[in-house]
A and B are shown apart, each in its own frame.
Chain A
C-alpha cells in the first residue's frame, strides 16, 4: 500500500466531512487510514522542540525545587525545605516590594504613553510611516546596548549627560542610579523608552480596525476629538487594552535586565527584583542555592497564573458588554 492510497477522496462539502469524521472516529485502523500517523510524524519536530526546550526544563524545575543540588554533586531530596527557605528569606518582602514598585511605575509611565502616542499618530495625515519607525526604533536597539547607553546618560556627576541638560533649565544635579529613591524610577524610564514602541505598533494596528463610519457618525453628531477618542476609540480598543495590560503586568513582574545591568540590585537592594534575586540565588554564590532559586521562580509563576485567571474572570463581563 502506498501512502497515496490512504488519502480519501475530498468530500463534496464541509457538512459531509464533519459527519464522516464523527462516524469513523474510533479504531486505530481508521485513525491510520485518516492520516493520523502522518499527522503525528509532521508534529514530531515541534513536539520534540517544545519537549526539550520548554516542557523538560519546566519539569526539571519542579524536581529541582525539591532538591538541594549544585549540579556537580549528587542531589539531595529535601522536601519542601527550599520553599520554606524562600519564605524565611529576609529579603523576600524587599524584592516583592521592589517588583511591585517597578510594576506600578511602569504602569504609570508605560501604559498611557504608548496609547497616547498611537492615538496621536493615527490622527496624522502625513509621514505616518516615519513616526512609526521612530517609535519602534528603541525596540530594535539591543537591550544591553540601550542600558549601557542610558547608564552613561545617568552619570550622577554634574557633567553627566542628563544632569548637564537639566542644568540648562536650573534643575539638578540628580543622583539617578546612585540613590535608593531615584534608582527605580530611573530604571523604569529606560524600560518605558525601550518597550513603548512595540505597544504603539499593537495599538496602531488595532486603531486601523476601528470602522471609519463610527468616527463619521460621531463627527456628524458634533463630537469633539476628545469625545471621539473616549466614546469611539477606547471602547473599540477595549480587548487589546486588556491584553496589553495583563502582558505588561506579567512582563514587569519578571523584570530582570534593567536592574541586573544598571545597578545589580543596588544601592542597598533598592532595585533588587524577584527575578534578579532568583538569579543571585542561583549564580552569585557558587551555585549552592539552585533549589531555592527554582522554588522562588515556581512561586512567581504560580502567582502570575492565578493572577491572570482572576484578571480574565473579573474583566470577562466587562469586555463582552
Chain B
C-alpha cells in the first residue's frame, strides 16, 4: 500500500496528537478544592460524590465478593448521593509506596498500624478528625489503638479498622503430642519454648521453632521478641526526638536465644527466607512446630494454607519476662490526601459502614459472620483479636455471632485467658519500618552464620536505624 505525501503527513501528525492525548490525564476534574481538615459540616450532604474504596484481597472467593456487593448496594441506598467503587486491595510495602507516590490509591485504603505515625508525619494522609469525631461512637475508640492514627497535633488521620492483634505463639498440637508433650500445656517462658522445641526436633525430626527473617517482617518479629523480654527498639527523648535502641540487651538476648536454638540445639528451622506469608505456608505444611505472629493469623491459615478446625492448631500467649509485653499491631483505614471534603465525608461514612458498624450493630455483625461461616470452604469466625472499642462491646459482639463461631476456641485458651490482662507494647513511633528493615539482616545472619557477631551487627543496624529516625524527624 502506498500513501501520497499529504496523507502520510496527516497520519504522522495525527499519531503525534494521539500520543499526546493518550498521555494526558483523563481523570474527572474534582469539584471541590482539596482543603484539609475543614469541618464536616461544610460538605454539602446532597452533592453527588464518587469514592473508590479498598475492597477484598485479589484472591477473595465469590461468596465474599457477593457480600461486598450487597454492602455497597445497601450503603448507596442509605446515602443516595454517594457512589462507591471498590477495588481489589492487598497491602504490600512496595506496591503501596508506588501507589501512594503515583496518586493511584483508592480514597479509602488500609495501612498497617506500623506505618500510621510515619505517614501522618510525612503529610501523606488526609485529616479526617472532624468526620470521625462526628460518628456516634467517635469518642469511644480504645485510646492506645487510636493513638496509632493520630498526629502530634492530636488530630485523627486514620482509624483502627480490623485485625487488631497482639503477637502470640502459634503451635502445632499434633507435633506436641508426637514429641510426648502435652498440647494443653504450651510453654509459658522462652526457656520452656527452647526445651519444647528441642524435644520436638529430637523426637520428630521437625524443626521445633522458626522465625520470620525476610524483609521488615523479620525485624518486626525480632522486635516482638525483644518487647516480650522487656526491651524496646526506640525510646522518646521527650523533646520530640527519638533514639534507636536496637542494641537493647533484650534485642541481643532474643538473638542469642535464636542462635542457641539454631546452632546448639539444631531445633530452629534453617531458613532465612521466611516472611509473613512464607512462614504461614511452612507452618501449614508441617515444616515447623512453633512460631510467633499476630494472634489473628488463624484467619490466613484457614484462607490460604489449608488449615481446618481438626488440623491441630494451637494458640497461646507470647512468653514475657522482665516486665515485657506483647507487641500489638493491626490495620488502619485512611483517606487519600487529595480527596475533596465531600469525598472525605463519604469515605468516613464508608469506613463506618464496612469496618466498624459490624462491631457496633447486631444485624451487621450477624450478616458478616454468617457469610464467612457459610462460605465454601468456611472461613474463620471468632478468631481472638483485640477490641477496637472496649472489652464489653467485644464480648457482646462474640455473643451476637456465637452460632457461627467455628474456630477451635478450646485450643486457644493459652491466649484468650490472658488477652485482656497481658501487658501490651505499642510499636515504635518514628521510622518503624526502617528500624525493622535495619534489624532483619541481623536475624538472617544469626540463622545462616554460626559465627555471626551479634554485637557488631546490632551496632551497625543501630546506626542505620538512628540515621533513619533523624531523617524522619
Contact = CB atoms under 8 A, between A and B. Distances in A.
Q: Report if A and B associate in a common complex.
A: yes
A256 interface: no
B273 A283 contact: no
Interface in A21-56: 38, 41-42, 44-45, 48-49, 52
Contacts of A197: none
Given A266-B273, A286-B433, A44 B101 contact: no
B278 to A, nearest CB: 11
B93 A180 contact: no
A175 B448 CA distance: 9
A267 B445 contact: yes
A45 B23 CA distance: 13
A56 B64 CA distance: 44
A287 B437 contact: no
A61 to B, nearest CB: 14
A284 B93 contact: yes
Nearest to A35: B5
A44 B444 contact: no
B202 interface: no
Interface string A304-320: 00000000000000000
A285 B433 contact: yes
Given A45-B16, A48-B16, A48-B20, A264 B272 contact: no
Counting contact residues on chain B (CB < 8 A from A), the size range is 35 or more
Contacts of A177: 273
A73 B118 CA distance: 13
Nearest to A53: B23
Given A73-B124, A283-B93, A267 B9 contact: no
Nearest to B338: A72
B115 interface: yes
Given A41-B12, A286-B122, A90 B464 contact: yes
B270 A178 contact: yes
B468 A285 contact: yes
B273 A90 contact: no
Interface string A1-26: 01110010000000000000000000
B98 interface: yes
Given A72-B337, A91-B464, A283-B97, A288 B471 contact: yes
B101 A156 contact: no
Interface string B111-132: 0000100110011100000000
A44 B103 CA distance: 30
B23 A52 contact: yes
A71 B5 contact: no
Given A3-B6, A73-B122, A178-B270, A264 B13 contact: no
Nearest to A47: B16
Q: Which of A48, A90, A266 has the most CB of B within 10 A?
A: A266
Counting contact residues on chain A (CB < 8 A from B), the size range is 35 or more
Contacts of B349: none
A83 interface: no
A179 interface: yes
A70 B273 contact: no
Contacts of B123: 72-73
A38 B9 contact: yes
Interface in B437-473: 437, 440-442, 444-445, 447-449, 452, 457, 460, 463-464, 467-468, 471-472
Contacts of A72: 100-101, 103, 122-124, 337
Nearest to B431: A285
B403 to A, nearest CB: 42
B214 interface: yes
B215 interface: yes
Contact of A179 (B102, B115, B122, B448): B448
A297 interface: no
Contacts of A91: 464
B433 to A, nearest CB: 5
Nearest to B446: A268
A263 interface: yes
Contacts of B434: 285
A3 B124 contact: no
Contacts of A288: 118, 122, 471-472
Given A179-B448, A268-B442, A288-B471, A45 B5 contact: no
Interface in B61-115: 93-94, 96-98, 100-103, 115
Interface string A64-105: 000000111100000000000100101100000000000000
Contacts of A175: 270, 448
Nearest to B337: A72
A286 B448 contact: no
Contact of A156 (B98, B100, B215, B271): B271
B469 to A, nearest CB: 12
Contact of B5 (A38, A280, A286): A38
Contacts of A228: none
Contact of A286 (B103, B118, B337, B444): B118
Contact of A283 (B8, B23, B98, B122): B98
A154 B96 CA distance: 30
A267 B433 contact: no
A45 B19 contact: yes
Interface string B1-43: 0001110110011011001100100000000000000000000
B437 A284 contact: yes
14 contacts: A44-B13, A45-B12, A178-B270, A178-B272, A266-B213, A266-B214, A266-B273, A267-B213, A268-B442, A268-B445, A268-B448, A269-B441, A286-B97, A286-B119
Interface of B: 4-6, 8-9, 12-13, 15-16, 19-20, 23, 93-94, 96-98, 100-103, 115, 118-119, 122-124, 213-216, 270-273, 337, 431, 433-434, 437, 440-442, 444-445, 447-449, 452, 457, 460, 463-464, 467-468, 471-472
Given A45-B19, A179-B449, A285-B437, 5 more contacts: A3-B6, A72-B124, A283-B93, A286-B433, A289-B471
Interface of A: 2-4, 7, 38, 41-42, 44-45, 48-49, 52, 70-73, 85, 88, 90-91, 156, 175, 177-180, 263-264, 266-269, 279-280, 282-290
Top 3 closest pairs, chain A to chain B, by CB: A267-B444, A71-B101, A268-B445
